[in-house]
Every structure is written in C-alpha cells, then in structure tokens.
Amino acid sequence: LSLMAVAVFPQEAFSKLPRFNARAQEFMLRHPELTHNVHLPSKPGVRNRLMLSILNEDKLRRILSRMLDESEFLSDYGIRSLSRVHLDNPYRFYHQGQEFKVGYVPGDSTSGMFGGNSNWRGPIWMPVNLLLLRALLQLYGYFGDDFKVEYPTGSGNYINLYDVTKEISERIVSIFLKDKSGRRPVYGAAEKFQTDPHWRDLILFYEYFHGDNGAGIGASHQTGWTGCVARIIQALGFVTPETILDTIAPGELAKY
C-alpha cells in the first residue's frame, strides 16, 4: 500500500504553493532523521519533475522485488492481496495462550472471522490492482526508462516501470479472455458459462478473483470496481511511454 502513495508534478508547481513549500522545508529541517528514509521531494527526476513519495529508491526496489515475485504477490492474473509465501508459512501470533494465524487463502474465505466471504488474504481485487498500476505509471513518469527492475523476480529479465505496468495489465485482462483451450479463467469450473453458447460470451464482473487460477468469486455483478478493468483495457490501447514522458502533464497521470 505504501507504493500507492505517490504524486508526480512539475517543478514549477512548488512556486504556486509557497506555504506548502515553506512548511515542507521547515519539517525536513526539524526532522533530518526522517529524510534518510523517504524520497526527497526536492530531488528532480525526468523532465525536472518532482515527486512526493514515502519510499526512497532503495525501499521501492525492495517492495517491487516482492510484488513482482511469482512465488509471492505476482499471479498469472494480477497482484494478489497477500503473499503466497504465507500458504506454507502463515503469520502467527499468540495472545493469552492462544495461537492466531493469517495464511494465504486464494479463493473463498475459510473463516468467518475476517468478514466471511470478503477475503483479502490472497485473492486478486480489481480496485487495488488499478491503484497499483496508476502508481507504477506515476513512478515511471518520474524515473523514466533508466529505472529498471527484474520482472518477474528471479528471471534475470530487467524492464522499466512502464513495461511492468503493461505486463501486469495484460495479466489482469487475461482473466476475462479465452485461453488456448477456449476457456475463460473468470468462469473457472462453471461449465455452463464456459461452454454453453448462450452464456459463454456474457462476461460477469465478480467481486474478486482467485489468486492462483483467476476464477471469479463472490458477487457476480460488481460492475463498479471490477468494471474498472475497462479502464485498464483502454489504457493498454493508447498510453505509451512517449505519452507518459512527453505529452502528459505529471498531474494528469492520475487519470490513467
């Protein structure tokens, strides 16, 4: 979530916000210990753009190495809500002699303790993925082509953040597309929706999606947050590296 808290803007924007600029400078002078752990807003990036982010470059790379690891957060269908490493290694804590644990659950919730069927411990949620994609484009607008990360982690393949955004977007969209066998991941084992000619091309917008196989789970008419996949498809069609670096004002990146 810390990766999502990012804003990129032109350097001249500071001159239009003198009070904010003064208070920010005063805060950094009073708390020099904090400036070692966050990105300095006065440090210019591509096209002399500035960035507000709580992650410095070292922290950003460490987070991305986990997020882009297929054994952790990176699924074939987007970014999981909890690392898959917790399947075999659940987080455990003890209170008054009792053990409590949170493990990776990719599909339906296995416990009513956390809100029943609203499972945030493994599945893919469309609004969270959309916010991550938006943040990655913001970061690309600041760092440009020279900032590259390993994708997927451990592959030895290094790409810039625009390409990371595109790769994740294509994984998300593939939830709804037919695979090589003619089946849509979104419908999982529901044969009527997979094979019946009256149903197979009627796409439902499920609440969330299985973290390992992309099957739709929960309410099947979430046309609000899951419908934002249409925005991802649209962005795949016209947002290019040149669009981000040359033709869009940094503040407008939030639209994408």
Per-residue model confidence as pLDDT tens for the chain (256 residues): 899 999 998 888 888 889 988 998 898 889 888 888 889 888 999 999 999 999 999 999 999 999 999 999 999 999 999 999 999 999 999 999 999 888 999 998 877 766 666 788 999 999 999 999 999 999 999 999 999 999 999 999 999 999 999 999 999 999 999 999 999 999 999 999 999 999 999 999 999 999 999 999 988 987 788 999 999 999 999 899 999 998 766 556 555 5
Specify whether the CB–CB gap between 183 and 172 falls below 8 A. Answer: no
- What is the spatial distance between Cα 190 and Cα 135, in angstroms, rounded to a whole number? 34
- What is the spatial distance between Cα 182 and Cα 186, in angstroms, rounded to a whole number? 12
Specify whether the CB–CB gap between 206 and 220 falls below 8 A. Answer: yes
Specify whether the CB–CB gap between 156 and 171 falls below 8 A. Answer: no
Specify whether the CB–CB gap between 138 and 249 falls below 8 A. Answer: no
Peptide bond into 106 cis (omega under 30): no
Among residues 207, 142, 199, 203, the alpha carbon closest in space to that of 177 is found at 203
Query: Dihedral sign, CA of 21, 22, 25, 27?
Result: negative
Place of tokens 């210990």: 33
Q: Is the pTM of this model over 0.85?
A: yes
